[in-house]
Structure 1
Amino acid sequence: MGHAAVLSLLPILVVFDAIEARAESCPTAKDELATDRPDVTNSSLVVPTGSLQNENGVNLTARDGGRTIDGTNTRWRLGVAPCLELLIDLPSYVGSLRAPATPGFTDVAPAVKWQVSPFPGKFDLSIVVGAALPTGAVDIAGRGTQPYVQLPWSYELQGGWGVSGMLTEFFRPEESTARHVTEATFVLEKKLNEKFSVFTEYVGDYAQSAGPTQLINSGGLYHLSPKDQVDFHVAFGLNRNSPSYIVGVGYSFRIDDLFGSHSTRETSRQF
Protein backbone atom coordinates (compact mmCIF):
# COMPACT_ATOMS: atom_id res chain seq x y z
CA MET A 1 0.00 0.00 0.00
CA GLY A 2 1.39 3.42 -0.99
CA HIS A 3 2.02 6.32 1.34
CA ALA A 4 -0.91 8.26 -0.14
CA ALA A 5 -3.32 5.39 0.59
CA VAL A 6 -2.05 5.10 4.15
CA LEU A 7 -2.45 8.83 4.72
CA SER A 8 -6.00 8.71 3.31
CA LEU A 9 -6.92 5.99 5.83
CA LEU A 10 -5.59 7.86 8.86
CA PRO A 11 -8.70 10.05 9.42
CA ILE A 12 -10.94 6.96 9.24
CA LEU A 13 -8.75 5.10 11.75
CA VAL A 14 -8.79 8.07 14.10
CA VAL A 15 -12.61 8.22 13.96
CA PHE A 16 -12.95 4.49 14.65
CA ASP A 17 -10.50 4.74 17.57
CA ALA A 18 -12.51 7.63 19.02
CA ILE A 19 -15.79 5.72 18.67
CA GLU A 20 -14.29 2.62 20.31
CA ALA A 21 -12.82 4.64 23.18
CA ARG A 22 -16.14 6.41 23.72
CA ALA A 23 -18.06 3.12 23.64
CA GLU A 24 -15.82 1.75 26.39
CA SER A 25 -16.84 4.65 28.66
CA CYS A 26 -20.61 4.21 28.11
CA PRO A 27 -22.73 2.63 30.91
CA THR A 28 -22.30 -1.12 31.37
CA ALA A 29 -24.11 -3.85 33.29
CA LYS A 30 -21.66 -3.30 36.15
CA ASP A 31 -23.05 0.19 36.74
CA GLU A 32 -25.79 0.91 39.26
CA LEU A 33 -29.38 1.48 38.15
CA ALA A 34 -29.98 5.10 37.03
CA THR A 35 -33.65 5.96 36.45
CA ASP A 36 -35.69 8.77 34.91
CA ARG A 37 -37.81 8.93 38.08
CA PRO A 38 -39.00 9.99 40.65
CA ASP A 39 -38.03 13.54 39.66
CA VAL A 40 -39.26 15.09 36.41
CA THR A 41 -35.65 15.49 35.27
CA ASN A 42 -34.55 12.40 33.37
CA SER A 43 -31.24 10.68 33.90
CA SER A 44 -28.38 11.98 31.76
CA LEU A 45 -27.23 8.34 31.36
CA VAL A 46 -28.60 5.66 29.05
CA VAL A 47 -29.12 2.03 30.06
CA PRO A 48 -26.32 -0.43 29.22
CA THR A 49 -26.31 -2.25 25.90
CA GLY A 50 -28.46 -5.37 26.10
CA SER A 51 -30.28 -4.21 29.25
CA LEU A 52 -34.01 -3.66 29.71
CA GLN A 53 -35.09 -1.21 32.40
CA ASN A 54 -38.65 -1.07 33.71
CA GLU A 55 -39.68 2.06 35.65
CA ASN A 56 -43.11 2.35 37.29
CA GLY A 57 -45.00 4.65 39.63
CA VAL A 58 -48.34 5.89 40.94
CA ASN A 59 -49.29 9.52 41.67
CA LEU A 60 -52.05 11.22 43.64
CA THR A 61 -52.74 14.74 42.34
CA ALA A 62 -54.89 17.56 43.73
CA ARG A 63 -55.89 20.38 41.35
CA ASP A 64 -58.74 22.94 41.48
CA GLY A 65 -60.49 20.99 44.24
CA GLY A 66 -60.38 17.71 42.29
CA ARG A 67 -58.38 14.57 43.04
CA THR A 68 -56.94 12.09 40.56
CA ILE A 69 -54.76 9.00 40.78
CA ASP A 70 -52.63 7.88 37.81
CA GLY A 71 -50.55 4.80 37.12
CA THR A 72 -48.63 2.81 36.45
CA ASN A 73 -46.53 5.45 34.69
CA THR A 74 -44.49 2.69 33.07
CA ARG A 75 -41.40 3.48 31.01
CA TRP A 76 -39.44 0.74 29.25
CA ARG A 77 -35.83 1.52 28.31
CA LEU A 78 -33.74 -0.81 26.16
CA GLY A 79 -30.02 -0.36 25.48
CA VAL A 80 -29.50 -1.20 21.81
CA ALA A 81 -25.92 0.04 21.31
CA PRO A 82 -23.19 1.76 23.33
CA CYS A 83 -24.58 5.09 24.61
CA LEU A 84 -27.88 4.54 22.73
CA GLU A 85 -31.28 3.40 24.00
CA LEU A 86 -34.85 3.07 22.80
CA LEU A 87 -37.56 3.99 25.29
CA ILE A 88 -41.34 4.00 25.36
CA ASP A 89 -43.86 5.44 27.80
CA LEU A 90 -46.84 3.10 28.01
CA PRO A 91 -50.36 4.51 28.49
CA SER A 92 -51.22 5.31 32.10
CA TYR A 93 -54.75 5.47 33.43
CA VAL A 94 -55.89 8.64 35.16
CA GLY A 95 -58.75 7.91 37.54
CA SER A 96 -61.03 10.46 39.15
CA LEU A 97 -61.29 10.38 42.95
CA ARG A 98 -63.10 13.69 43.38
CA ALA A 99 -64.68 16.01 40.82
CA PRO A 100 -63.78 18.08 38.91
CA ALA A 101 -61.48 15.53 37.25
CA THR A 102 -61.50 13.72 33.91
CA PRO A 103 -60.67 9.97 33.75
CA GLY A 104 -58.94 8.29 30.81
CA PHE A 105 -55.64 7.07 29.38
CA THR A 106 -52.51 9.02 28.42
CA ASP A 107 -50.73 8.61 25.06
CA VAL A 108 -48.11 6.02 24.20
CA ALA A 109 -44.81 7.82 23.57
CA PRO A 110 -41.74 6.17 21.95
CA ALA A 111 -38.36 7.91 21.83
CA VAL A 112 -34.63 7.53 21.14
CA LYS A 113 -31.99 8.59 23.67
CA TRP A 114 -28.33 9.18 22.84
CA GLN A 115 -25.76 9.87 25.54
CA VAL A 116 -23.48 12.50 24.04
CA SER A 117 -21.16 12.44 27.05
CA PRO A 118 -19.07 11.44 28.86
CA PHE A 119 -17.05 14.57 28.32
CA PRO A 120 -13.77 15.03 30.19
CA GLY A 121 -14.65 15.60 33.85
CA LYS A 122 -17.88 14.84 35.68
CA PHE A 123 -20.42 16.30 33.23
CA ASP A 124 -22.94 14.07 31.42
CA LEU A 125 -25.42 15.03 28.68
CA SER A 126 -27.98 13.16 26.57
CA ILE A 127 -30.31 14.02 23.70
CA VAL A 128 -33.82 12.54 23.57
CA VAL A 129 -36.12 12.76 20.54
CA GLY A 130 -39.62 11.32 20.78
CA ALA A 131 -43.32 11.84 20.21
CA ALA A 132 -46.58 11.22 22.05
CA LEU A 133 -48.87 9.36 19.65
CA PRO A 134 -52.63 10.09 19.64
CA THR A 135 -53.78 6.96 21.49
CA GLY A 136 -55.11 8.44 24.73
CA ALA A 137 -58.05 10.57 25.81
CA VAL A 138 -58.04 14.02 24.21
CA ASP A 139 -59.05 15.77 27.44
CA ILE A 140 -55.99 14.31 29.17
CA ALA A 141 -53.31 13.91 26.50
CA GLY A 142 -54.31 16.52 23.93
CA ARG A 143 -54.84 16.25 20.19
CA GLY A 144 -52.68 14.67 17.52
CA THR A 145 -49.04 13.62 17.49
CA GLN A 146 -46.89 15.68 19.87
CA PRO A 147 -43.13 15.57 19.17
CA TYR A 148 -40.59 16.59 21.79
CA VAL A 149 -36.84 17.11 22.21
CA GLN A 150 -35.06 16.85 25.57
CA LEU A 151 -31.58 17.66 26.86
CA PRO A 152 -31.01 16.08 30.30
CA TRP A 153 -27.65 16.88 31.92
CA SER A 154 -25.89 16.30 35.25
CA TYR A 155 -22.73 17.39 37.03
CA GLU A 156 -21.16 15.59 39.99
CA LEU A 157 -19.98 17.77 42.85
CA GLN A 158 -17.92 16.83 45.92
CA GLY A 159 -19.15 15.19 49.11
CA GLY A 160 -21.98 13.24 47.46
CA TRP A 161 -23.65 16.38 46.10
CA GLY A 162 -24.74 16.79 42.50
CA VAL A 163 -26.74 19.10 40.26
CA SER A 164 -28.75 18.22 37.19
CA GLY A 165 -31.44 19.61 34.95
CA MET A 166 -33.32 19.24 31.71
CA LEU A 167 -34.61 21.44 28.91
CA THR A 168 -37.57 20.10 26.93
CA GLU A 169 -39.37 21.53 23.91
CA PHE A 170 -42.88 20.11 23.39
CA PHE A 171 -44.69 20.68 20.09
CA ARG A 172 -48.49 20.37 19.80
CA PRO A 173 -49.33 21.33 16.20
CA GLU A 174 -52.99 20.29 16.37
CA GLU A 175 -53.82 22.29 19.50
CA SER A 176 -55.64 25.60 19.05
CA THR A 177 -53.63 27.18 21.89
CA ALA A 178 -50.33 26.41 23.63
CA ARG A 179 -48.89 24.73 20.54
CA HIS A 180 -45.39 25.07 21.95
CA VAL A 181 -44.35 24.40 25.56
CA THR A 182 -40.86 24.84 27.02
CA GLU A 183 -40.09 22.94 30.21
CA ALA A 184 -37.05 23.73 32.34
CA THR A 185 -35.95 21.81 35.44
CA PHE A 186 -33.13 22.10 37.95
CA VAL A 187 -32.24 19.56 40.65
CA LEU A 188 -30.02 19.63 43.73
CA GLU A 189 -29.34 16.11 44.99
CA LYS A 190 -27.42 14.52 47.85
CA LYS A 191 -26.26 10.93 48.19
CA LEU A 192 -26.63 10.17 51.91
CA ASN A 193 -25.05 6.71 51.68
CA GLU A 194 -24.45 3.96 49.13
CA LYS A 195 -28.17 3.17 48.85
CA PHE A 196 -30.17 6.28 49.75
CA SER A 197 -30.34 9.62 47.89
CA VAL A 198 -32.58 12.68 48.26
CA PHE A 199 -33.33 15.59 45.94
CA THR A 200 -35.16 18.90 45.56
CA GLU A 201 -36.26 19.99 42.09
CA TYR A 202 -37.74 23.04 40.38
CA VAL A 203 -40.05 22.33 37.42
CA GLY A 204 -41.36 25.10 35.18
CA ASP A 205 -43.62 24.69 32.13
CA TYR A 206 -43.88 27.78 29.95
CA ALA A 207 -46.62 27.46 27.34
CA GLN A 208 -47.10 29.68 24.32
CA SER A 209 -49.95 32.16 24.96
CA ALA A 210 -50.60 30.78 28.46
CA GLY A 211 -49.40 31.27 32.01
CA PRO A 212 -46.57 29.12 33.40
CA THR A 213 -46.92 26.06 35.61
CA GLN A 214 -44.33 25.87 38.40
CA LEU A 215 -43.61 23.17 40.98
CA ILE A 216 -41.18 22.37 43.75
CA ASN A 217 -40.67 18.61 43.79
CA SER A 218 -38.74 16.76 46.53
CA GLY A 219 -38.18 13.11 47.30
CA GLY A 220 -35.74 10.26 47.51
CA LEU A 221 -34.78 6.86 46.19
CA TYR A 222 -33.47 3.75 47.89
CA HIS A 223 -31.52 1.01 46.06
CA LEU A 224 -32.68 -2.40 47.24
CA SER A 225 -29.81 -3.75 45.11
CA PRO A 226 -27.63 -2.28 42.34
CA LYS A 227 -30.38 -3.22 39.86
CA ASP A 228 -33.63 -2.25 41.57
CA GLN A 229 -34.95 0.67 43.63
CA VAL A 230 -38.00 2.13 45.35
CA ASP A 231 -38.71 5.86 45.32
CA PHE A 232 -41.09 8.56 46.53
CA HIS A 233 -41.71 12.24 45.83
CA VAL A 234 -43.93 15.13 46.97
CA ALA A 235 -44.54 18.22 44.82
CA PHE A 236 -46.26 21.52 45.60
CA GLY A 237 -47.52 24.10 43.12
CA LEU A 238 -46.06 27.60 43.17
CA ASN A 239 -48.86 29.42 41.34
CA ARG A 240 -52.57 29.18 40.49
CA ASN A 241 -51.93 27.31 37.23
CA SER A 242 -50.19 24.45 39.02
CA PRO A 243 -51.52 21.41 40.90
CA SER A 244 -51.96 22.01 44.64
CA TYR A 245 -49.85 18.95 45.36
CA ILE A 246 -48.64 15.63 43.88
CA VAL A 247 -47.62 12.61 45.96
CA GLY A 248 -46.06 9.60 44.28
CA VAL A 249 -44.25 6.29 44.88
CA GLY A 250 -42.53 3.95 42.46
CA TYR A 251 -40.46 0.84 41.82
CA SER A 252 -37.89 0.23 39.07
CA PHE A 253 -35.63 -2.65 38.05
CA ARG A 254 -33.17 -3.62 35.32
CA ILE A 255 -32.53 -6.92 33.52
CA ASP A 256 -29.09 -7.25 31.91
CA ASP A 257 -27.42 -9.28 29.16
CA LEU A 258 -30.50 -9.81 27.00
CA PHE A 259 -28.35 -9.97 23.86
CA GLY A 260 -25.84 -12.43 25.33
CA SER A 261 -23.11 -9.79 25.14
CA HIS A 262 -21.41 -11.03 28.33
CA SER A 263 -21.15 -14.56 26.93
CA THR A 264 -19.79 -13.21 23.67
CA ARG A 265 -17.07 -11.23 25.46
CA GLU A 266 -16.09 -14.20 27.58
CA THR A 267 -15.87 -16.43 24.49
CA SER A 268 -13.77 -13.91 22.59
CA ARG A 269 -11.23 -13.78 25.46
CA GLN A 270 -10.64 -17.51 25.13
CA PHE A 271 -9.31 -17.26 21.58
Structure 2
Amino acid sequence: MSILKNVGLIVVAGLSTQAFASEFSFDRPGASFSTGTTPVGSLAWEQALPTASYKKSFIDGQNVETTTVHADMMLRTGLTDNLELRLGWQGPGWSRTTTAGRTEKEHGLGDISIGLKQAIDLNDEKLSMAILAEAQIATGNEKFTNDSDIYTLGSSVSYKYTPDLTTAITMLYAHEGDKLSVTAVPNIGYKLTEKWSGFSEFIYKKAEGTNVEYALGSGIIYAPNGRTQLDASIAIDLNGSADSYHAGLGVSYLF
Protein backbone atom coordinates (compact mmCIF):
# COMPACT_ATOMS: atom_id res chain seq x y z
CA MET A 1 0.00 0.00 0.00
CA SER A 2 2.86 2.41 0.79
CA ILE A 3 4.25 1.92 -2.72
CA LEU A 4 0.92 2.88 -4.28
CA LYS A 5 0.79 5.96 -2.05
CA ASN A 6 4.27 6.98 -3.20
CA VAL A 7 3.26 6.56 -6.84
CA GLY A 8 0.23 8.75 -6.25
CA LEU A 9 2.28 11.46 -4.55
CA ILE A 10 4.74 11.57 -7.44
CA VAL A 11 1.96 11.85 -10.04
CA VAL A 12 0.20 14.60 -8.06
CA ALA A 13 3.47 16.49 -7.67
CA GLY A 14 4.07 16.25 -11.39
CA LEU A 15 0.58 17.48 -12.23
CA SER A 16 1.04 20.49 -9.97
CA THR A 17 4.03 21.78 -11.94
CA GLN A 18 3.66 24.72 -14.27
CA ALA A 19 2.18 23.67 -17.63
CA PHE A 20 4.62 23.56 -20.52
CA ALA A 21 5.05 21.55 -23.71
CA SER A 22 7.80 18.96 -23.28
CA GLU A 23 9.81 17.98 -26.33
CA PHE A 24 8.83 14.50 -27.56
CA SER A 25 11.45 11.77 -27.88
CA PHE A 26 11.28 7.99 -28.12
CA ASP A 27 12.42 5.86 -25.18
CA ARG A 28 14.11 3.21 -27.33
CA PRO A 29 16.81 2.03 -27.15
CA GLY A 30 18.85 1.56 -23.96
CA ALA A 31 18.12 1.04 -20.27
CA SER A 32 17.25 4.70 -19.57
CA PHE A 33 14.12 6.67 -20.45
CA SER A 34 13.86 10.04 -22.14
CA THR A 35 12.61 13.27 -20.56
CA GLY A 36 10.05 13.88 -23.33
CA THR A 37 6.39 12.83 -23.24
CA THR A 38 3.95 11.94 -25.99
CA PRO A 39 1.71 14.78 -27.25
CA VAL A 40 -2.00 14.66 -26.40
CA GLY A 41 -3.93 12.86 -29.14
CA SER A 42 -0.84 11.02 -30.41
CA LEU A 43 0.26 7.42 -29.97
CA ALA A 44 3.89 6.31 -29.89
CA TRP A 45 4.51 2.66 -30.82
CA GLU A 46 7.97 1.32 -29.94
CA GLN A 47 8.58 -2.23 -31.17
CA ALA A 48 11.56 -4.58 -30.78
CA LEU A 49 12.54 -6.57 -33.88
CA PRO A 50 13.51 -8.37 -31.59
CA THR A 51 15.43 -8.05 -28.29
CA ALA A 52 17.89 -10.91 -27.70
CA SER A 53 20.19 -12.03 -24.86
CA TYR A 54 22.90 -14.68 -24.68
CA LYS A 55 24.54 -16.13 -21.57
CA LYS A 56 27.31 -18.73 -21.31
CA SER A 57 28.16 -20.04 -17.85
CA PHE A 58 29.83 -22.99 -16.13
CA ILE A 59 27.47 -24.78 -13.71
CA ASP A 60 28.20 -28.00 -11.84
CA GLY A 61 31.09 -28.77 -14.14
CA GLN A 62 29.08 -28.28 -17.32
CA ASN A 63 28.86 -25.50 -19.90
CA VAL A 64 25.39 -23.97 -20.09
CA GLU A 65 24.43 -21.67 -22.97
CA THR A 66 21.09 -19.84 -22.99
CA THR A 67 19.69 -17.69 -25.80
CA THR A 68 16.45 -15.75 -25.26
CA VAL A 69 14.51 -13.66 -27.78
CA HIS A 70 11.58 -11.30 -27.07
CA ALA A 71 9.43 -9.15 -29.37
CA ASP A 72 8.72 -6.59 -26.64
CA MET A 73 6.71 -3.43 -27.29
CA MET A 74 5.65 -0.17 -25.64
CA LEU A 75 2.64 2.05 -26.37
CA ARG A 76 2.70 5.65 -25.10
CA THR A 77 -0.06 8.25 -25.34
CA GLY A 78 -0.42 11.76 -23.94
CA LEU A 79 -2.98 12.42 -21.21
CA THR A 80 -2.01 16.08 -20.76
CA ASP A 81 0.66 18.30 -22.31
CA ASN A 82 3.34 16.71 -20.12
CA LEU A 83 1.85 13.50 -18.73
CA GLU A 84 1.72 10.23 -20.64
CA LEU A 85 0.24 6.77 -20.11
CA ARG A 86 2.55 3.83 -20.89
CA LEU A 87 1.41 0.28 -21.69
CA GLY A 88 4.12 -2.32 -22.23
CA TRP A 89 4.27 -6.01 -23.08
CA GLN A 90 7.32 -8.24 -23.23
CA GLY A 91 5.60 -9.99 -26.11
CA PRO A 92 6.08 -13.51 -27.43
CA GLY A 93 9.35 -15.09 -26.38
CA TRP A 94 11.56 -18.00 -27.39
CA SER A 95 14.50 -19.55 -25.56
CA ARG A 96 17.06 -22.28 -26.18
CA THR A 97 19.24 -23.79 -23.45
CA THR A 98 22.12 -26.13 -24.25
CA THR A 99 23.71 -28.13 -21.42
CA ALA A 100 26.55 -30.51 -22.24
CA GLY A 101 25.21 -31.00 -25.76
CA ARG A 102 21.56 -31.41 -24.74
CA THR A 103 19.23 -28.70 -26.03
CA GLU A 104 15.88 -27.61 -24.62
CA LYS A 105 13.59 -25.14 -26.36
CA GLU A 106 10.79 -23.10 -24.79
CA HIS A 107 8.31 -20.49 -25.99
CA GLY A 108 5.66 -18.37 -24.33
CA LEU A 109 4.33 -14.89 -23.60
CA GLY A 110 5.98 -12.32 -21.33
CA ASP A 111 4.75 -9.92 -18.64
CA ILE A 112 2.79 -6.69 -19.13
CA SER A 113 3.45 -3.27 -17.59
CA ILE A 114 1.57 -0.03 -17.00
CA GLY A 115 2.99 3.32 -16.00
CA LEU A 116 2.85 7.11 -16.02
CA LYS A 117 5.61 9.50 -17.03
CA GLN A 118 5.50 13.20 -16.15
CA ALA A 119 7.81 15.84 -17.62
CA ILE A 120 8.95 18.46 -15.09
CA ASP A 121 9.47 22.12 -16.03
CA LEU A 122 12.91 23.24 -14.82
CA ASN A 123 12.65 26.59 -16.62
CA ASP A 124 15.93 25.91 -18.41
CA GLU A 125 16.49 25.60 -22.17
CA LYS A 126 19.25 23.01 -21.78
CA LEU A 127 18.14 21.06 -18.71
CA SER A 128 15.09 18.76 -18.75
CA MET A 129 13.63 16.21 -16.34
CA ALA A 130 10.94 13.54 -16.12
CA ILE A 131 9.67 11.18 -13.41
CA LEU A 132 8.25 7.69 -13.92
CA ALA A 133 5.94 5.40 -11.93
CA GLU A 134 5.54 1.93 -13.40
CA ALA A 135 4.31 -1.54 -12.44
CA GLN A 136 5.35 -4.74 -14.20
CA ILE A 137 2.70 -7.40 -13.61
CA ALA A 138 3.82 -11.05 -13.65
CA THR A 139 1.23 -12.32 -16.14
CA GLY A 140 3.58 -14.18 -18.47
CA ASN A 141 3.99 -17.90 -19.04
CA GLU A 142 6.42 -20.01 -17.04
CA LYS A 143 10.09 -19.23 -17.87
CA PHE A 144 8.98 -15.99 -19.55
CA THR A 145 7.70 -14.19 -16.47
CA ASN A 146 9.48 -12.43 -13.64
CA ASP A 147 7.34 -14.46 -11.15
CA SER A 148 6.94 -11.42 -8.82
CA ASP A 149 5.42 -8.03 -9.68
CA ILE A 150 7.92 -5.16 -9.93
CA TYR A 151 7.01 -1.62 -8.84
CA THR A 152 9.41 1.05 -10.07
CA LEU A 153 9.85 4.75 -9.35
CA GLY A 154 12.35 6.58 -11.53
CA SER A 155 13.72 9.91 -12.61
CA SER A 156 15.68 11.05 -15.63
CA VAL A 157 17.62 14.31 -16.01
CA SER A 158 19.13 15.41 -19.31
CA TYR A 159 21.49 18.28 -20.13
CA LYS A 160 22.10 19.46 -23.69
CA TYR A 161 25.67 20.78 -23.90
CA THR A 162 25.40 21.56 -27.61
CA PRO A 163 22.85 20.69 -30.33
CA ASP A 164 25.00 17.62 -31.06
CA LEU A 165 25.92 16.44 -27.54
CA THR A 166 23.64 15.50 -24.64
CA THR A 167 24.34 13.85 -21.30
CA ALA A 168 21.76 12.30 -18.99
CA ILE A 169 21.31 10.08 -15.96
CA THR A 170 18.39 7.81 -15.12
CA MET A 171 17.75 6.54 -11.57
CA LEU A 172 15.39 3.61 -10.98
CA TYR A 173 14.20 2.40 -7.57
CA ALA A 174 12.37 -0.93 -7.74
CA HIS A 175 10.48 -3.16 -5.29
CA GLU A 176 10.31 -6.82 -6.31
CA GLY A 177 8.85 -9.37 -3.94
CA ASP A 178 10.51 -8.53 -0.62
CA LYS A 179 13.62 -6.93 -2.15
CA LEU A 180 14.56 -3.39 -3.09
CA SER A 181 17.02 -2.44 -5.82
CA VAL A 182 18.55 0.72 -7.24
CA THR A 183 19.78 1.19 -10.82
CA ALA A 184 21.80 4.13 -12.12
CA VAL A 185 22.24 4.68 -15.86
CA PRO A 186 24.48 7.61 -16.86
CA ASN A 187 24.60 8.03 -20.63
CA ILE A 188 25.76 10.29 -23.43
CA GLY A 189 24.03 10.94 -26.73
CA TYR A 190 25.75 12.33 -29.80
CA LYS A 191 24.48 13.44 -33.19
CA LEU A 192 26.46 12.06 -36.13
CA THR A 193 24.55 13.57 -39.06
CA GLU A 194 21.14 15.15 -39.52
CA LYS A 195 19.45 11.71 -39.46
CA TRP A 196 21.98 9.53 -37.63
CA SER A 197 22.85 9.61 -33.93
CA GLY A 198 24.40 7.33 -31.31
CA PHE A 199 24.53 6.76 -27.57
CA SER A 200 26.64 5.04 -24.92
CA GLU A 201 25.63 4.16 -21.37
CA PHE A 202 26.92 2.55 -18.18
CA ILE A 203 24.48 0.49 -16.10
CA TYR A 204 24.95 0.02 -12.33
CA LYS A 205 22.47 -2.11 -10.34
CA LYS A 206 22.45 -3.17 -6.70
CA ALA A 207 19.69 -5.32 -5.23
CA GLU A 208 19.33 -6.48 -1.64
CA GLY A 209 21.16 -9.74 -1.02
CA THR A 210 23.00 -9.77 -4.38
CA ASN A 211 26.29 -8.53 -5.73
CA VAL A 212 26.57 -5.30 -7.68
CA GLU A 213 25.88 -5.71 -11.41
CA TYR A 214 27.61 -3.66 -14.11
CA ALA A 215 27.01 -3.39 -17.85
CA LEU A 216 28.08 -1.25 -20.80
CA GLY A 217 25.77 -0.48 -23.69
CA SER A 218 25.93 1.40 -26.95
CA GLY A 219 23.74 1.89 -29.99
CA ILE A 220 22.93 3.79 -33.14
CA ILE A 221 19.70 5.49 -34.22
CA TYR A 222 18.38 6.45 -37.66
CA ALA A 223 15.53 8.97 -37.75
CA PRO A 224 14.41 9.74 -41.34
CA ASN A 225 11.82 12.20 -39.99
CA GLY A 226 10.34 13.45 -36.72
CA ARG A 227 7.86 10.56 -36.46
CA THR A 228 9.97 7.52 -37.35
CA GLN A 229 13.03 5.93 -35.73
CA LEU A 230 15.06 2.77 -36.37
CA ASP A 231 17.61 1.59 -33.81
CA ALA A 232 20.25 -1.05 -33.11
CA SER A 233 22.00 -1.56 -29.76
CA ILE A 234 24.24 -3.97 -27.88
CA ALA A 235 25.26 -4.34 -24.21
CA ILE A 236 27.66 -6.56 -22.30
CA ASP A 237 27.56 -7.55 -18.63
CA LEU A 238 30.87 -6.84 -16.88
CA ASN A 239 30.48 -8.74 -13.61
CA GLY A 240 30.62 -12.44 -12.85
CA SER A 241 32.34 -15.32 -14.58
CA ALA A 242 29.60 -15.86 -17.19
CA ASP A 243 29.69 -14.36 -20.67
CA SER A 244 26.48 -12.34 -21.05
CA TYR A 245 25.38 -10.14 -23.95
CA HIS A 246 22.22 -8.26 -24.89
CA ALA A 247 21.28 -6.88 -28.30
CA GLY A 248 18.27 -5.42 -30.01
CA LEU A 249 16.81 -4.01 -33.19
CA GLY A 250 13.76 -1.79 -33.09
CA VAL A 251 11.38 0.49 -34.90
CA SER A 252 9.35 3.35 -33.39
CA TYR A 253 6.60 5.46 -34.92
CA LEU A 254 4.51 8.39 -33.68
CA PHE A 255 0.92 8.27 -34.95
In the other structure, the counterpart of 1:63 is: 55
In the other structure, the counterpart of 1:234 is: 234
Normalised to the residue count of structure 2, the TM-score between the two structures is 0.81
In the other structure, the counterpart of 2:138 is: 134
Please give the secondary structure, in 2, of the residue aligned with 1:198. Answer: strand
In the other structure, the counterpart of 1:202 is: 202
Q: Does 1:48 align with 2:4?
A: no
Measured in 1, the distance between the counterparts of 2:109 and 2:209 equals 26
Kindly indicate which of the two structures has a greater share of residues assigned to strand: 2
In the other structure, the counterpart of 1:92 is: 91
For residues 183-216 of structure 1, give each alpha carbon's deviation from its aligned partner in whole angstroms, at most 9, with x where no partner exists: 1101111111221111111112211110122110
Relative to structure 2, which stretch is displaced further, 56-65 or 160-169? 56-65
Instruction: Quickly say closer, same or farther: Cα 1:145–1:192, change in 2 above 3 A.
Output: same
> Contact conserved, 1:125 with 1:153, CA < 8 A, in 2?
yes
Kindly indicate which of the two structures has a greater share of residues assigned to helix: 1
Measured in 2, the distance between the counterparts of 1:163 and 1:145 equals 31
> Contact conserved, 1:155 with 1:162, CA < 8 A, in 2?
yes
Measured in 2, the distance between the counterparts of 1:185 and 1:243 equals 21
Alpha-carbon distance, 1:85 to partner: 0.3
User: Among residues 16, 21, 25, which one is paired with 1:25 in the alignment?
Assistant: 21
In the other structure, the counterpart of 2:216 is: 216
The AA in structure 2 aligned to 1:79 is G
In the other structure, the counterpart of 1:3 is: none
Relative to structure 2, which stretch is displaced further, 182-191 or 233-242? 233-242
Alpha-carbon distance, 1:71 to partner: 2.6
In the other structure, the counterpart of 2:77 is: 78
Alpha-carbon distance, 1:218 to partner: 0.5
Relative to structure 2, which stretch is displaced further, 116-125 or 83-92? 116-125
Please give the secondary structure, in 1, of the residue aligned with 2:19. Answer: helix
Relative to structure 2, which stretch is displaced further, 162-171 or 86-95? 86-95
Measured in 1, the distance between the counterparts of 2:31 and 2:228 equals 19
Measured in 2, the distance between the counterparts of 1:209 and 1:88 equals 30
Relative to structure 2, which stretch is displaced further, 225-234 or 114-123? 114-123
For residues 200-249 of structure 1, give each alpha carbon's deviation from its aligned partner in whole angstroms, at most 9, with x where no partner exists: 11112211110122110001100022100100001111111776211211
> Contact conserved, 1:202 with 1:214, CA < 8 A, in 2?
yes
Please give the secondary structure, in 2, of the residue aligned with 1:62. Answer: strand
> Contact conserved, 1:106 with 1:136, CA < 8 A, in 2?
yes
User: Among residues 108, 120, 123, which one is paired with 1:119 in the alignment?
Assistant: 123
| Percent identity of equivalent pairs | 22
> Contact conserved, 1:25 with 1:118, CA < 8 A, in 2?
no
Measured in 1, the distance between the counterparts of 2:54 and 2:222 equals 26
For residues 87-141 of structure 1, give each alpha carbon's deviation from its aligned partner in whole angstroms, at most 9, with x where no partner exists: 0111323311343686543211100111113432311111111111120145443
In the other structure, the counterpart of 2:7 is: none
The AA in structure 2 aligned to 1:59 is T
> Contact conserved, 1:214 with 1:242, CA < 8 A, in 2?
no
User: Among residues 148, 168, 175, which one is paired with 2:172 in the alignment?
Assistant: 168
Alpha-carbon distance, 1:144 to partner: 3.5
User: Among residues 145, 149, 152, which one is paired with 2:149 in the alignment?
Assistant: 145
> Contact conserved, 1:94 with 1:106, CA < 8 A, in 2?
yes
Alpha-carbon distance, 1:63 to partner: 1.0
Please give the secondary structure, in 1, of the residue aligned with 2:72. Answer: strand
Alpha-carbon distance, 1:143 to partner: 2.9
Normalised to the residue count of structure 1, the TM-score between the two structures is 0.77
Alpha-carbon distance, 1:46 to partner: 0.7
Which runs of 5 or more structure 2 residues have no equivalent in the other structure?
1-14, 57-63
Alpha-carbon distance, 1:84 to partner: 0.5
How many equivalent pairs are there? 228
Measured in 2, the distance between the counterparts of 1:130 and 1:106 equals 16
Instruction: Quickly say closer, same or farther: Cα 1:137–1:190, change in 2 above 3 A.
Output: same
